[in-house]
């Protein structure tokens, strides 16, 4: 299984390669499961994490090139007053992918998906129930916060309706 983390590449399937993820986890510590995983497993989880982020996040800016496979690199994104390069993936995105991939490694991968939230509405005695599952852990959202479109109530991510 080959992983392609070429920024803006037409076949890219991950924002972070195994070497970058290994460095992230080595600096972070307490990630023995990541260190013990083989390269193929790490690549599979990095691809999975990237796929979930790309399908769920409403990123700032616009794709740098119509032919790129993934949402990053992007144009028109400013972080801490500095415009981000339109030909690179920000370190925050790579770190978020590494963190999310680690959380997806667990035996119960749903543990890393965050809580199920009842976003129902009650009007008088009638109550509707709409459970949504936010599939991005809060630690990952914290890294991505400045790069995702926000609203007054917080970071905007697409949700999946359950039940």
pTM assigned to the model: 0.79
What was the pLDDT predicted at 29? Answer: 80
95 contacts 24 by C-beta, under 8 angstroms? yes
> What does the pLDDT read at residue 7?
97
pLDDT tops 50 at residue 138: yes
Question: What is the reported pLDDT for 137?
Answer: 84
Average pLDDT over residues 151-159: 46
Find the mean pLDDT for residues 107-119: 52
Residue 54 in tokens: 């790309």
Mean pLDDT for the chain?
A: 83
Asked if residues 137 and 100 have their Cβ atoms less than 8 Å apart, the reply is yes
pLDDT at res. 8: 97
């Amino acid at each position: 299984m080959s992983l392609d983390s070429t920024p803006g590449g037409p076949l890219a399937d991950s924002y972070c390669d195994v070497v970058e993820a290994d460095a992230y986890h080595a600096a972070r510590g307490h990630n023995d499961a990541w260190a013990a995983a083989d390269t193929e497993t790490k690549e599979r989880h990095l691809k999975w994490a990237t796929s979930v982020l790309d399908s769920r996040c409403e990123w700032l800016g616009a794709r740098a090139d119509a032919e790129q496979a993934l949402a990053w690199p992007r144009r028109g994104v400013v972080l801490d007053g500095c415009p981000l390069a339109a030909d690179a993936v920000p370190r925050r995105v790579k770190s978020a992918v590494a963190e999310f991939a680690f959380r997806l490694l667990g035996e119960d991968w749903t543990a890393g998906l965050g809580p199920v939230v009842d976003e129902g509405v009650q009007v008088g005695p009638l109550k509707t129930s709409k459970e949504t599952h936010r599939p991005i852990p809060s630690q990952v959202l914290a890294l991505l916060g400045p790069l995702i479109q926000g609203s007054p109530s917080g970071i905007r991510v697409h949700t999946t309706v359950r039940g």
